[in-house]
Amino acid sequence: MKEQIYTIPVNEAYDTDCECPLCVLERKLEKEGVDYALGAAMMEPDYRVESNDIGYCRHHYRLMFAVPNKLSLALVLDTHLQEIRKKMDKHEKAVTSQSKGGLFKKNTAAGELSQTLAKVENGCMICKKIDYTMNRYMDVVIYLWNNDPNFKEKFERSKGLCLPHFSRLADMCGRTRGSEEFLAALFKKEKAELSRIQEDIHKFTLKFDYRNQDMEWGTAQDAPIRTIEKIAQYITEEE
Ligand SMILES: [Zn+2]
Ligand SMILES: [Zn+2]
């Protein structure tokens, strides 16, 4: 049996009525990641060394900035900025003292500088942890579908996944032995759920025609947000 630390949350997420159970899991990890980064991690020297090095992505800075007390965030930023400046110093000589090359000579100092900066921009402690745990969760989804009939039923009752998670899970199937049947079921499920969403969003547009004033909304009333969530993951912060 797969470790319960992963199977329990996956089962709980599939018990939730939502457009994507993996989004439910990711949202929770995101919140935990922010709480940890500004809480317990402050006392973890190893974490601080790494967070000083790679920092956080724009999205997760936004969530960290939304926390009212700014002291932890300021401490994190203070030491991360020190590291960024040290990294820039290492490029100083090459960038400021290079001789003028010919028209076709590549400016290697510029390329190396932008590589360093890209690492700072793309690194994120919270994304890193989320990616690791989400991979375990997706692994468990495939395992449970193959081994637990109760889960298979839950999967059938679910509303599919958002496209980014559908894509990642399909990719995981490509790297998981014995997942062919699951991939076929996943694809069939997603196709049906995208068609349901299409009906809702189309109905939403029809309601704006005065001739359809009396038409029942049915499930179409919140179709725009659910369609976005389906295509591109959640965009609002609240649960
Ligand atoms: Zn999702
Ligand atoms: Zn991030």
Question: Is residue 150 domain-resident?
Answer: yes
Q: What number is the average pLDDT over the span 98-118?
A: 81
- Ligand with the closest atom to the CA of 20: 1
Question: Is residue 68 domain-resident?
Answer: yes
Question: Is residue 17 domain-resident?
Answer: yes
Centre of ligand 1 from the C-alpha of residue 26, in Å? 8
Centre of ligand 2 from the C-alpha of residue 122, in Å? 8
Is 80 exceeded by the pLDDT of residue 103? no
Question: Is residue 111 domain-resident?
Answer: yes
pLDDT at 213: 87
pLDDT digits (tens, 9 = 90+) for 177-220: 999 999 999 999 999 999 999 999 999 999 999 999 888 989 99
Question: Is residue 142 domain-resident?
Answer: yes
Question: Is residue 123 domain-resident?
Answer: yes
- Ligand with the closest atom to the CA of 128: 2
Centre of ligand 1 from the C-alpha of residue 141, in Å? 13
Is 90 exceeded by the pLDDT of residue 71? yes
Question: Is residue 79 domain-resident?
Answer: yes
Is 60 exceeded by the pLDDT of residue 94? yes
- Ligand with the closest atom to the CA of 34: 2
Residue 161 belongs to domain spanning: 4-97+107-232
Question: Is residue 102 domain-resident?
Answer: no
pLDDT at 25: 97
Residue with more model confidence, 193 or 239: 193
Neighbour tally for 151: CB within 10 Å? 19
Centre of ligand 2 from the C-alpha of residue 76, in Å? 15
Give the global pTM: 0.89
Centre of ligand 2 from the C-alpha of residue 65, in Å? 13
DSSP 162: -
- Ligand with the closest atom to the CA of 124: 2
Q: Comparing C-alpha atoms, which of 207, 205, 209 is closest to residue 224? A: 205
- Ligand with the closest atom to the CA of 127: 2
pLDDT band at 4 (very low <50, low <70, confident <90, very high): confident
- How many domains in the chain? 1
